Chain A
Amino acid sequence: MEIFIAQLINAIALGSVYALLVTGFNLLVVVGGIFPFAYSHIVVLSMYMCWFAMKVTGDNLLAGILAGVFAGTGFSFITEPIFRPLAKRGAVLGSFIVAMAMSLIITEIMSQKLNMGIVISFPQSLQGEEALIRFGAATITAGQIGTVVGSIGAGFGFFFLLYRTKQGRAFRAMGQSPFSARLLGIPIVKTRIYAYIIAGLLGGISAVFLAMALGTASSSLGDNLALKVMAVAMFAGVGNLGGGLVAALILGLSEGMVLAYLPGDWSQAIAFGMIMVVVMIRPKGLFGTMA
């Protein structure tokens, strides 16, 4: 029972970060008009920036968090001009291939140039490993609580922006039909740039939470995360912002349970097996591909 509780807590923490990641990913799909495979790689690069800032400033927590968030926002912003011509001509599969190329470049930079390709470990001050609540042998750490609360907060902030502001209406209009949005006077390019910035911001926040939840990062984490994010997006329905949140939690929970109760390293196969089954039964995802 204690193992179950411990895994459940871990799964909820990880699932909430996945949810945040998928939200940023879906925003780029819906508003950016691209398939941002490299989004997770940008998040991992932001984790590296967070680590670097903390190393330079002598484990200053604020410097690390700010570096991670700003790096995510900045990196996402600078990719916009690269994808703009592809989004303009509606080359979504083309954007996927370009994003794959971008992910290759980012992974190569991380594996060759950053920390000489060695796995980075985040300082204890960021991970927050001190136990705040105990259930027998199972504990809830400050890092886990921070991750869940922070992710929920960021998610609420994003959905407030999406459903309660003028900019959010512009995003949703772009998601429905960029052509109609243009007719209604919505500045397409400007709205897309805002979408990249907000997706980057969510990515930067996810980077900090991932650093807290995982404690380490490596160059191969980008590919791994990218596939999980895509899998969650596919599971829910590509571009479905609300469905993505539910699917991310399901993936986090199933991964946690598989790690706890199955021998060997079957967690990836189970996660991707679930995606295969969903795609086979419902090609447009569990919740459909609505914006």
Chain B
Amino acid sequence: MSLGLYYYFQLTAIFIMLGWTLYWVYRIGQLNNAPIAIMAIGAYLSAYAVLKWGWPFGLAMPFAVICGAAFALIPALSLGRAPAFAMVIATIALIFIMQTVFRNLPWFGGSIGLFGIPKIKSLLWITYGVLVFFGILIFRFDHSRLGRAADVIFEDRDVAGTLGINIYLFSVCLQVMTGVMGTVAGVLYAFTIRTVIPVYFGFPFLLAITTFIFVGGYTTMWGVIVFTPILWGIPIILPESVAVYKNFIYGILLMGTLLLRSEGVIDRRFLHRLHMNTGIMVKRLFRGLKKSET
């Protein structure tokens, strides 16, 4: 596999994971950007453990994940009850705080960051294994009682409360879970790029992930899977003179999608219709096969 293709597959998987972190908390109507900040923690701590303490990747990853989960709990406990806006702004603020902290702490290399992270041979397999694991986890969540509870919270918080759903606990748990996902994404990102600098985990990164999820569709987990490879791949396919306008294209797509199709391209209705059409096609296929047999 060429190096370009390796990076494409690897980063696509990481971006899908990050898209899911936003999607998962948005299931209850909260836009939590903290996973991007926690991703930075995962990337920096794992890189530091490997470079400075000489730990193997297998040990550095769980260490970073535990630290990331513990860190995710702090804002989660206080933001669980916060209004949607407060969460958006506070978590964006968290991204900037983490960037500033890493830029100013000499142990983490300041603005230069950490570099020379060793190459992991089977990283692509690990990344896709983790991606499938998180995918199954979210799919099972969506199709369980918890998923239905999340739907009720999204539609009407008062009704959800009346039905006995503990919205605060729900929000805290989802924030910590997405924090763990963000940390894992951060570790994988660090070992893919093999350099960690504060600029990577900033606002433009958040904007790109937001585009992937809101263009793809934020009401299902499939929108991110389909649209991340497309949107992330567009600038690679386009000629360089056009590719420099990547953010412009993202902005137009994001704005157009939200104005014309408010729930994104792959929404629940789209999935329902797809499911129905696939069912009809399979039935027709079977009928045709039976007729040819008789």
Residues of A that sit less than 8 Å from B by CB? 35, 82, 85-86, 91-94, 96-98, 100-105, 107-109, 112, 223, 227, 230-231, 233-234, 238, 264-266, 268-269, 272-273, 275-276, 279-280, 283-284
- A108-B245, A108-B247 provided; 18 other pairs, C-beta below 8 A? A85-B259, A86-B258, A93-B29, A100-B210, A101-B255, A104-B207, A104-B254, A105-B255, A238-B85, A265-B100, A266-B104, A268-B100, A269-B97, A279-B89, A279-B93, A280-B79, A284-B83, A284-B86
A-contacting residues of B (Cβ < 8 Å)? Answer: 29, 31, 75, 78-79, 81-86, 88-90, 92-94, 96-97, 99-101, 103-104, 203, 207, 210-211, 214, 244-245, 247-248, 250-252, 254-255, 258-259, 262
Q: Are A273 and B97 in contact (CB under 8 A)?
A: yes
Q: Give chain A residues whose Cβ lies under 8 Å from the Cβ of B203.
A: 223, 227
Q: Kindly list chain A residues whose C-beta atoms are within 8 Å of the C-beta of B85.
A: 35, 92, 96, 234, 238
9 A-B residue pairings within 8 Å (CB atoms): A35-B85, A97-B214, A100-B207, A104-B251, A104-B254, A105-B251, A105-B252, A269-B100, A280-B78
How far does the Cβ of B34 sit from chain A's closest Cβ, in whole Å? 11
Q: Are B104 and A265 in contact (CB under 8 A)?
A: yes
Bound: A123/B112 CA distance, A:
34
Total cross-chain contacts (CB, 8 A): 123
Q: Are B83 and A102 in contact (CB under 8 A)?
A: no
| A235 → B minimal CB distance (Å) | 9
CA distance A279 to B203 in the complex (A): 20
A279 to B99, CA, bound (A): 20
| Cα distance A124–B293 in the bound complex, in angstroms | 89
Q: Is the CB of A108 within 8 A of B214?
A: no
Closest residue of A by beta carbon distance from B31: A93
Distance (whole angstroms) from the CB of B197 to the closest CB of chain A:
15
Q: Cβ of A109: which chain B residues have Cβ within 8 Å of it?
A: 248
How near does chain A come to B180, taking the closest CB pair, in angstroms?
21
Compute how far the CA of A238 lies from the CA of B255 in the bound complex, rounded to whole angstroms.
24
Q: Check if A275 sits within 8 Å of B93, measured CB to CB.
A: yes
Q: Inside 8 A of B81's CB, which chain A residues have their CB? A: 283
User: Known: A283-B81, A283-B83, A284-B86. Contact between A266 and B100, CB under 8 A?
Assistant: yes
Contact of B92 among A91, A104, A230, A266 (CB under 8 A): A230
Complex partner residue of B86 from A93, A98, A279, CB under 8 angstroms: A279
A112 to B103, CA, bound (A): 27
**Chain A: which residue is nearest B29 at the CB level?**
A93
- Asked if B90 contacts A275 (CB within 8 A), the reply is yes
A97: contacting residue among B82, B92, B258, CB under 8 A: B258
Measured CA separation A108–B211 after assembly (Å): 15
> A284 to B82, alpha carbons, bound, how many Å?
8
**Interface SS majority for chain A:** helix
A-B interface, 6 closest residue pairs, ranked by CB to CB distance from nearest: A104-B251, A280-B78, A272-B93, A269-B100, A101-B254, A105-B251
Please give the distance in Å from A77's CB to the nearest CB on chain B.
18
The residue that A231 contacts in the complex, of B93, B211, B245, B252, with Cβ under 8 A, is B93
Q: Chain A nearest CB: distance from B97 CB in Å?
A: 5
How far does the alpha carbon of A223 sit from the alpha carbon of B252 in the complex, in Å? Answer: 18
Residue of B nearest to A264 (CB): B104
Smallest distance from the beta carbon of B10 to chain A beta carbons, Å? Answer: 25
Q: Please report the C-alpha to C-alpha distance between residue A50 and residue B255 in the assembled complex, in whole angstroms.
A: 27
- Which of the residues B29, B90, B96 comes within 8 Å of A268, measured between beta carbons? B96
Please pick, from B86, B88, B214, B255, the residue contacting A283 in the complex, using a CB distance under 8 A: B86
In contact, B83 and A101 (Cβ under 8 angstroms): no
Q: How far is the CA of A107 from the CA of B207 in the complex (A)?
A: 12
Residues of A within 8 A of B84 (CB): 92-93
Which chain A positions have C-beta within 8 A of B210?
A: 97, 100
* B150: min CB distance to chain A, Å: 16
Minimum CB–CB distance for A200 against chain B, Å: 19
User: Which of B90, B99, B214, B254 has the most chain A CB within a 10 Å cutoff?
Assistant: B90
Q: Once the chains are docked, how many angstroms separate the CA of A238 from the CA of B84?
A: 12
Chain A residues with CB under 8 Å of B31's CB are 93, 96
- Most chain B beta-carbon contacts within 10 A, residue among A97, A109, A275: A97
CA distance A6 to B236 in the complex (A): 50
Does the CB pair B78–A102 fall under 8 Å? no
Complex Cα gap A238–B86 (Å): 9
Q: Judging by beta carbons under 8 Å apart, are B86 and A234 in contact? A: yes
- Closest A-chain residue to B88, C-beta based? A96
Contact across chains for B92 and A283 when beta carbons are under 8 A apart: no
The distance in angstroms between the C-alpha atoms of A100 and B259, with both chains bound, is 13
Please judge, given known A-B contacts A104-B248, A265-B103, whether A94 and B93 are in contact too, CB under 8 Å.
Answer: no
Q: Which residue of A lies closest to B247 (CB)?
A: A108
With contacts A85-B259, A112-B244, A273-B97 taken as known, whether A234 is within 8 angstroms of B90 at the C-beta atoms is yes
Chain A residue at minimum C-beta to C-beta distance from B74: A280
How near does chain A come to B254, taking the closest CB pair, in angstroms? 4
Contact A100 B254 (CB under 8 A): yes
Contact between B259 and A276 (Cβ–Cβ < 8 Å)? no
Contact, CB under 8 Å: B254 / A97? yes
Contacts of B259 in A (CB 8 A): 82, 85-86, 98
Report the separation of the CA atoms of residues A230 and B80 in the bound assembly, to the nearest whole angstrom.
20
